[in-house]
Amino acid sequence: MLIHVVKPSETLWQIASYYRTTVGAIAEINELPNPNQLVIGLALVIPTEDVFHTVAPGESLWKIAQKYGVTVQTILKNNYIPNPADIYPGLLLFIPALRYRIQPGDTLWAVAKKYGVSLNDLIKVNNIKNVNIIYPGTLLIIPRKPRPLINVNGYIYILGEKAVPIVEKDGEHLTYLSPFAYLIREDGNLQPIDDIPAIRAAKAENAIPMMSVTNFTSTAKGENLAHIVLNSSQAIKLLIDNIINIMKEKGYSGLNIDFENVLPADREAYNRFLQNVVTRLHPEGFFVSTAVAPKTSGKQVGLLYEAHDYEAHGRIVDFVILMTYEWGFRKGPPQSISPLNQIKRVLDYAVTVIPREKIYFGFQIYARDWLLPFVPGQEAETFSVQEAVLRAIRFGAAIQYDTVTQSPFYRYTDARGRAHEVWFEDARSAQAKFETVKNYRLKGISYWALGYPFPQNWVLLEDNFTIVK
């Protein structure tokens, strides 16, 4: 896949022609409601395995051809270059993807083996619906790059039957689905949730249900609730008993513990609780994970951070989800929700105390709209990335991109004359996060939260990784 940023006066037809694809293909993959309505700065995912390469100083056509697995003649032919010596730094070259025409007796497995690519990637790139039906003469696109394995979790707090269409749409991209969440009570009991429809839909998509328990709500921090439970052996025993019973009854395979705002004095009590949970759940065949606040050092102060002992979590549980989002929170000033420069500071610390193979990168897939000028305590509106794009189109706002945080944003004036600032995610910011996951060699990605449409994310996720199912 390629990413194209819309320029002034550019049409989708022009973009499609440039990339040798169709308007329909671009509109479909980006879920554009009206292909005739674009906005400056909009990042579009282009469905192609072809690439455009900018010649670097000292590069030869032979080196470029070797890099992309094509011949020098292929590059010359597709770029109308009569003399191989006539290349220079900055020259943009079109590099077509490898293609193979199916012969009688061919199988997809044999084609994948011949080109050293995975069968799953070959199927996905060519959008093959039935692997048992391929016809001689069909032209297959050969995937250009190997895709590393990744585990993907998706939290969902829209429950009941409303969860089903969401899971049916996004479940194919998930390793785990986490209905959020069972709220603990002071005595160790759990407040029930309507999670059976989501679990059923997850299993139909071959996604593993992961039970989630928490101590907080949208209106209560939960620090005192956590204190009572974590310091009561009776409450802990009942809580773990209840967790095991629910997991067995409903078909969960693992547990995610998301205790937030735990009092600093309860740090060791929380660690002991985690060890207790693992000791009880592992023999039953269940895995255990935690969600932790984004820390940049072991000495970071504050209610969100001090009781989250990265080193202990990394040692005790099976994997750890870093909640690397919410810098731009609902009642704070407008800013990037998931600034990559800040996230990298968290990762730089995390990989020193938690094994990389246990770290999941937290990825938020929603947008926020703040009224300007910002008034402390004023709450921003939260909605989907797709709605952020539609809003930019509706108000004719040019989308800008902050290269420090690797985040898109824009400003607009509404019908009542009020100024707004919107921060969200797009194809560029998603790709930057995926590159970070690969560079830090992390185990997984965890999305908060399903139910906010962001079509480009899922296309790029599949283009960058092979998802463990």
Question: Could you list the active site residues?
Answer: 260
Which residues contact residue 68 at a Cβ distance below 8 angstroms, ignoring those fewer than 6 apart? 51, 53, 95, 144
Beta bridge partners of 359: 320
Contacts of 136 (CB under 8 A, 6+ apart): 102, 103, 104, 106
Alpha-helical (H) ranges within 5-104 are 12-18, 23-30, 61-68, 72-79
- Taking each helix axis from N to C terminus, what angle separates 61-68 and 72-79, rounded to the nearest 10 degrees? 100
- Over 406-417, what HEC string results? CEEEEEEECCCC
CA 317, chain centre distance (Å): 22
**Of the candidates 433, 449, 430, 442, the residue with the CA atom closest to the CA atom of residue 256:** 449
DSSP H helices in 354-448? 385-395, 427-439
Task: Map tokens 């009854």 to a residue.
Answer: 249
Tokens of 268: 């060791």
CA distance 7 to 127: 29
Contact 289, 210 (CB under 8 A): yes
